[in-house]
């Protein structure tokens, strides 16, 4: 059944608007919804493996009409969310359900709540009258083959009188089976209460006592990443593994506490203008919600850090006055893959951090010295005397742009790994803009003359010049300009921006820029800097369009459609993609066209074929080898 649901339908479902006001961070990061709400969220329910087992056991006990079950655990472990998930599954299966969450009431009121939620008309009367009406309803449903289920949440608040009423309801049965299944959901106090001597008859009827527990670090990590992916399929918000480890220590693996802390952390990230949920951002949030910090082992320094954050937030001291507090956690606040190298990478004034390597189109050149090492008048003069510069590489690069007069200035910039002054001077004189790219991003750009070099940190960078058709200065939220309109069109062409092309910088525009920067491994600022603008033009210009014919959960079904198309002489391919629901989809696509009208023509021709009625959506190509597809002929 699920395989007949199209990816387009899943996208429409994911975009259903909510009446709830959006948070600041939802707008800032362009999130579909709040990934970490502080109320139960059945729509985006995540189940670790152990919860799947709990749900399966409870569902089996209910479906086989075992009678009486309990689900208990500490506050904030997801009991209500599990109960509502089970409620939804039961209703989908055709069961009649009654869900009670107000347990601070008298026995007659409790029975009234149960009956009303079953849809039984209440004509008043006491407990005995209502119980008789309920019994008649259950007998009728049982005769029709319908299973009836009562779920009572916050059951630890039930009085002994109400628990005795629950026992009486559980006694309702036919000659062969229970007429109603009862699930009590509550905190661990419910277990204690049920051990009371006066409730031993009720306790003896419990066939399954399911338990929930805190998440392990692995479970919490998967929980956070799953919820983020659902709300943020573009992957704007990033959370480090070191932050997840701290989150687990701060919350003890309690998902509600994790939601509260991460909800606040997203606000803190907006305030700090970062998309990176680092330990420092998490500690800022922890200090704001009053969450206790770890105090043992290697985590003692967090107390001092949190105190510093509180002083900064209160405006008592400036960041520079308190920055020494962060020295013990510098490594934890560095990117995860850099932590082992932090001590050497952060050193200043060493020669090894200033020595770049020059290369042209992949040909490695000899090292240039660090600034001032030689005692000569300039790096270029030193390099010429020592024979340390491959002037042929530099001349070839500059001649490609008719910039030969800047050869000494470029040699000096390479030696110092500082290009701002040179870039400004050339831009003012020629309108050419210097772009410094990671070499991996420059490799496909064969139409440009490129000079590659290696920084002292071992990073391979490439230089090129281009002449942009727009200039970007301001880009704050609310700014209006034609250059903004051009950027919005480019982002829309890459399927990253789906709002109005109005020339006004909004949170969605900045979020789309951030998504593009994340996709390309650039610094995520939300500002279209020269590198971002260059790559945006390149990728939008080279965008290919395709016709999506169908989407399936099953690879077998997708391959079947492809075979059907190929029997009719239509070349098709199957691509594995992640849908907006976070699930894996197999999509069948036809064509790889440079112009959208060509793809539209293919769609129109396919619509006339016998297999019409499929999706037939014209989409920009993502997640495929565009270089290989560019060689594909039209249909």
CA 388, CA 369: separation in Å to the nearest integer? Answer: 8
**pLDDT over 60 at 366, yes or no:** no
Kindly report, residue by residue over 268-305, the tens digit of the pLDDT: 888 887 888 888 888 888 877 877 554 444 444 444 44
Contact 572, 620 (CB under 8 A): no
Q: Which residues contact 346 (CB under 8 A, 6 or more apart)?
A: 330
Position 606 scores a pLDDT of 85
CATH of domain 217-345: 1.10.8.60
Q: Per residue in 572-593, pLDDT tens?
A: 899 887 765 567 888 899 888 7
Enclosing H/E stretch for 558 = helix 555-567
Buried/exposed 108-147: b ≥16 CB within 10 Å, e otherwise:
bebbbbbbebbebeeeeeebeebbebbbebbeebbeeeeb
Q: Alpha-carbon distance 417 to 412, whole Å? A: 8
Q: Are 110 and 165 within 8 A, CB to CB? A: yes
Domain boundaries, the chain: 49-211, 217-345, 351-466, 482-541, 545-629
CB-neighbour burial class of residue 412 (10 A; exposed 0-12, middle 13-18, buried 19+): buried
Q: Is the pLDDT of residue 133 over 60?
A: yes
pTM of the predicted model as reported, rounded to 2 decimal places: 0.51
Domain 49-211 has CATH 3.40.50.300: yes
Phi, psi at residue 624, to the nearest 5°?
-130, 165
> Tens of pLDDT along 503-550?
999 878 887 888 788 777 787 778 898 899 999 988 887 777 888 888
pLDDT tens across 309-357, in order? 443 344 433 333 333 333 333 334 444 443 333 222 222 233 333 223 3
Average confidence (pLDDT) over 64-84: 91
C-alpha span between 531 and 538 (Å, rounded): 11
- Mean pLDDT to the nearest integer, 620-635: 47
Close Cβ partners of 423 (under 8 Å, ≥ 6 residues apart):
433, 434
Pick the closest to residue 181 from 90, 92, 107 (CA basis). Answer: 90
CATH placement of domain 482-541 = 1.10.101
C-alpha angle 20/580/501, rounded to 5°?
70
pLDDT at 398 over 90: yes
pLDDT of residue 70: 94
Lowest mean pLDDT among 119-123, 198-202, 301-305, 528-532: 301-305
Distance CA 519, CA 513 (A): 10
Where is average pLDDT lowest: 69-78, 94-103, 364-373? 364-373
Q: Can you tell me the distance from the alpha carbon of 433 to that of 533, in angstroms, rounded to the nearest whole number?
A: 11
pLDDT, residue 581, reads 55
d(CA 537, CA 469): 10
Region of residue 125 (phi > 0: left; psi between -120 and 50: alpha; otherwise: beta): left
Is residue 484 left, alpha or beta, with left meaning phi > 0 and alpha meaning psi from -120 to 50? alpha
DSSP state of 606: H
Give residue-wise pLDDT tens across range 423-463.
999 998 998 999 998 888 887 787 889 998 887 777 888 99
Instruction: Domain 545-629: give its CATH code.
Output: 3.30.70.1070
Residue 349, by phi and psi: left (phi above 0), alpha (psi -120 to 50) or beta? left
């Amino acid at each position: 059944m699920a395989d007949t649901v199209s990816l387009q339908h899943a996208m429409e479902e994911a975009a259903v608007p909510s009446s709830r006001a959006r948070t600041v961070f939802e707008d800032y990061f362009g999130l579909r919804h709040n990934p970490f709400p502080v109320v139960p969220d059945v729509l985006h329910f995540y189940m670790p493996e152990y919860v799947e087992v709990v749900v399966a056991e409870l569902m089996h006990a209910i479906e086989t009409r075992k009678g009486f079950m309990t689900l208990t655990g500490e506050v904030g472990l997801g009991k209500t969310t599990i109960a509502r998930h089970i409620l939804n599954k039961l209703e989908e299966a055709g069961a009649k359900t009654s869900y009670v969450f107000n347990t601070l009431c008298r026995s007659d009121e409790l029975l009234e709540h149960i009956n009303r939620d079953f849809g039984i008309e209440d004509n008043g009367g006491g407990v005995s009258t209502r119980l008789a009406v309920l019994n008649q309803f259950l007998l009728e449903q049982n005769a029709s083959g319908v299973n009836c289920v009562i779920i009572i949440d916050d059951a630890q608040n039930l009085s002994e009188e109400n628990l005795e009423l629950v026992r009486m309801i559980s006694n309702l049965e036919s000659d062969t089976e229970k007429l109603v299944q009862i699930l009590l959901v509550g905190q661990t106090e419910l277990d204690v209460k049920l051990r009371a001597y006066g409730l031993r008859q009720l306790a003896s009827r419990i066939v399954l006592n399911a338990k929930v527990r805190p998440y392990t670090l692995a479970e919490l990590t998967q929980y956070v990443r799953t919820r983020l992916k659902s709300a943020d399929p573009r992957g704007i918000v990033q959370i480090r593994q070191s932050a997840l480890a701290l989150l687990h220590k701060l919350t003890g693996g309690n998902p509600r506490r994790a939601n509260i802390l991460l909800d606040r952390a997203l606000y803190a990230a907006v305030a700090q203008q970062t998309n990176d949920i680092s330990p420092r951002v998490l500690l800022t949030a922890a200090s704001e919600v009053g969450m206790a910090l770890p105090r043992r082992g290697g985590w003692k320094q967090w107390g001092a850090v949190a105190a510093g954050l509180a002083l900064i937030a209160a405006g008592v001291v400036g960041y520079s006055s308190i920055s020494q507090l962060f020295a013990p956690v510098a490594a934890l606040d560095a990117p995860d893959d850099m932590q082992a190298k932090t001590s050497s990478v952060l050193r200043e004034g060493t020669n090894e951090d200033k020595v770049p390597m020059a290369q042209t189109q992949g040909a490695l050149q000899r090292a240039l010295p660090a600034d001032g090492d030689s005692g000569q008048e300039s790096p270029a003069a030193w390099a010429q005397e020592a024979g340390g510069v491959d002037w042929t590489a530099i001349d070839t690069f500059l001649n490609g742009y008719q910039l030969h007069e800047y050869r000494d200035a470029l040699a000096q910039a390479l030696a110092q790994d500082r290009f701002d002054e040179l870039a400004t001077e050339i831009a003012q004189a020629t309108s050419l803009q210097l772009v410094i790219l990671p070499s991996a991003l420059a490799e496909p750009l064969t139409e440009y003359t490129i000079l590659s070099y290696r920084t002292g940190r071992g990073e391979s960078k490439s230089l090129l010049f281009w002449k942009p058709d727009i200039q970007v200065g301001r880009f704050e939220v609310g700014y209006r300009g034609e250059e903004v309109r051009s950027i919005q069109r480019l982002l829309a062409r890459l399927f990253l921006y789906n709002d109005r092309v109005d020339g006004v910088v909004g949170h969605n525009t900045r979020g789309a820029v951030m998504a593009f920067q994340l996709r390309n491994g650039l610094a995520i600022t939300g500002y279209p800097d020269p590198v971002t603008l260059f790559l945006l033009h390149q990728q939008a210009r080279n965008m290919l369009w395709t016709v999506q014919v169908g989407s399936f959960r099953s690879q077998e079904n997708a391959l079947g459609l492809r075979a059907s198309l190929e029997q009719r002489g239509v070349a098709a391919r199957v691509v594995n993609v992640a849908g907006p629901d976070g699930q894996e989809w197999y999509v069948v696509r036809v064509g790889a066209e440079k112009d959208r009208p060509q793809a539209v023509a293919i769609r129109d021709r396919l619509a006339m074929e016998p297999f019409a009625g499929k999706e037939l959506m014209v989409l920009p190509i993502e997640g495929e080898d565009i270089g290989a597809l560019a060689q594909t002929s039209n249909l």
